[in-house]
Amino acid sequence: MSDQANARGGGKHDSGLSGMDASGRRSQRPCSGDGGGFDMDAWWQDRSLPQKILLGIGFGILAIGLLALFGWVVMLLWNWLMPEIFGLKRLDYWKAWGLLALCTILFKGFGSGGSGGRSDRKRRKHLRRYMREDPSPEGETPLDCPEAGED
Which are the contacts of 47, defined by CB distance < 8 A and separation ≥ 6?
9, 55
Q: Is 113 a domain residue?
A: yes
Q: Are residues 83 and 34 in the same domain?
A: no
Contact 63, 70 (CB under 8 A): no
- The DSSP output letter for 109 is -
Rounded to 10 degrees, the C-alpha dihedral 36/40/41/43 comes to 90
Which are the contacts of 116, defined by CB distance < 8 A and separation ≥ 6?
108, 109
Q: Is 120 a domain residue?
A: yes
State the pLDDT at residue 115.
Answer: 55
Domain that holds residue 119: 64-131
Percent of the chain exceeding pLDDT 90 equals: 39
Which is more confident, 73 or 120? 73
Distance of CA 40 to the CA centre of its chain: 14
**Confidence band for 125, pLDDT divided at 50, 70 and 90:** confident
State the pLDDT at residue 13.
Answer: 42
Domains identified in the chain, total number? 2
Q: Are residues 70 and 36 in the same domain?
A: no
- The DSSP output letter for 107 is I
Closest CA to 72 of 57, 94, 53: 94
For 59-117, the pLDDT digits (tens) are: 999 999 999 999 999 999 999 999 999 999 999 999 999 999 999 899 987 665 555 55
pTM above the 0.85 mark? Answer: no
State the pLDDT at residue 146.
Answer: 56
